[in-house]
Amino acid sequence: MLDLMPLRRFIYTLTMYLLTPVILYRLAVRGLRYPDYFSRWRERFGFFSDPHIHDSIWIHAVSMGEVNAAMPLIDALMQRYQGTPFVITTVTPTGSDRVRRVYGDRVFNVYLPYDLPASIRRFLKRVRPRLIVVMETEIWPNLFFECRTRGVPIVVANARLSEKSLRGYGPVRPLAKSALASAHYVAAQSMTDAARLRDLGADPDRLGVVGNLKYDMSVPAELKAQALSMRAGWGARRPVWIAASTHEGEEEPVLKAHAAVLRKFPDALLLFAPRHPERFRQVALACRSFGFITRTRSEGGGADADTQCFVVDTLGELLRFYASADVAFVGGSLVPIGGHNVLEPAALSVPVIVGPQTFNFTDITASLIEAGAALCIADGDALGAMVIRLLADEHLRKRIGDAGRAAFEREQGGVLRTVGIVEKVLEERGIGDRKPESSQSH
């Protein structure tokens, strides 16, 4: 039978090269609104100074959300493989900023190159990984094939695949199937994800349900004290709710909901945390256009007693503001984005509200709703009434919050199971505890 895979890869790679000008144009357009997209652009083609590291453990996480999910795993691997260099790649500036703030020079952080063979080869030549851990849904055919060619084992961790994403592979599905089949292990979040990943091409003998690493996130011990301190500055007894990780198309429903909340609770405060930095300014302007007394985190640091909307226009602080809220609406769920991480507020015993579009977090959201730890609204028009209902009923808030915390604790353990998988893969390859080669030998 004729093997069409080389032809498919050739067509895919040719298409990627032909699309490179379009990709660069898109990068430039995003850079106009968020200048960090202009910087370090050469890294996206595998050009960066040789860090002189060898036998590194490489972890790839697309953006800040994936980085946050990966952090417990990164910490555990750094503890297990002390003395081993770690490389963490991201795609977005927000993800890169998060890595650099948390890990500093303890890791080497660089952007993942575009899925062009020459770019991937340049990257691999400079970081010489002993293993790559790919977080969640990043299946890049040339990346997987080049790693396979060089004998670099691939572990797909916290793997998830929505029905929409499965359909979205379309004409490149055979190529994605071959790429995924080359992974040494695929650690799925749930049985549903495992079934879809198996349909896409994961080897059933190297596929397992490990659980969601987001359940293993650590809650800083000082978080509660920080939250109480912030609440004292705002007015300790004020009703406070947060609209987090919102997208375009969700701001107006949130602001209309807050107008309704203010009619019931005139001293209520809305914490507004847009998902992307390029929307920070637009959201602040929208709050003011509604007539709300508005302050932003970057302008003054905190809210006053008379502030009605407080825009969290900084990165890496969302957990602190979740801890300060009585109720949390998690965005990306009123528009077809697929929702965002509902576990952060649940871990803090904060009642969660989501819209109907949660296909990226179907199992987690469904489990929280079933456990009585989250509430789903039909559309944006229902948001205000739901927030009012929760703010008016302290006992209901406590019951939902306690259920969220219990569900969060019940599902923990995915990090240890994933570390065990990494250990096994490295041992099978005969490189489990191999000491990094001296850079002098190269």
Each as own residue / partner, the long-range contacts of residues 77-80 (CB below 8 Å, 24 or more positions apart, any chain) are 77/133, 77/419, 77/422, 78/106, 80/419, 80/423
Ordered alpha helix ranges (H), 274-341: 280-289, 297-300, 318-323
Q: How far apart are CA 77 and CA 72, in angstroms?
A: 9
Rounded Cα–Cα distance for residues 194 and 161 (Å): 8
66 is annotated as an active-site residue: yes
**Which one, of 34, 110, 26, 29, lies nearest residue 313 by Cα?**
34
- Residue appearing with tokens 């570390």: 419
Token pair belonging to 10: 């050739």
Catalytic residue (choose from 66, 136, 146, 251):
66
Place of tokens 């923990």: 412
Instruction: Give, in order, the Cα–Cα distances in Å from 50 to each of 43, 101, 108, 434.
Output: 11, 22, 11, 22
Strand order in the sheet with 269-274: 294-296, 309-311, 269-274, 240-246, 327-330, 352-354, 374-376
Q: Which residues are known catalytic residues?
A: 66
